[in-house]
Amino acid sequence: MPLKIAPHSKLLFIGDSITDTGRTQPVAEGLFDPLGRGYVTMVEALLGATCPQRAIRVVNVGTSGNTVRDLQGRWDRDVIALKPDWLSINIGINDVWRQFDCPRQTERHVGLQEYTQTLDDLLARTRPNLKGLVLITPHFIDADRRDPMRRRMDQYGAVVKKLAARYDGLLADSQAAFDQVLQHVHPMALAWDRIHPNQTGHMIIARTFLNTIGFRWT
9 counts as catalytic:
no
**Torsion region of 207: left, alpha or beta (phi above 0 gives left; psi -120 to 50 gives alpha):** alpha
> For residues 121 and 64, what is the distance between their CA atoms, to the nearest angstrom?
22
64 counts as catalytic:
no
Q: Report the interhelical angle of 148-166 vs 112-126 (nearest 10°).
A: 30
C-alpha closest to that of 6 among 163, 131, 124, 150 = 131
193 counts as catalytic:
yes
- If one counts every other C-beta atom within 10 angstroms of the C-beta of residue 211, the result is 16
- Active-site residue among 64, 85, 147, 196? 196
> For residues 183 and 64, what is the distance between their CA atoms, to the nearest angstrom?
29
- Active-site residue among 9, 17, 88, 174? 17
Catalytic site positions: 17, 193, 196
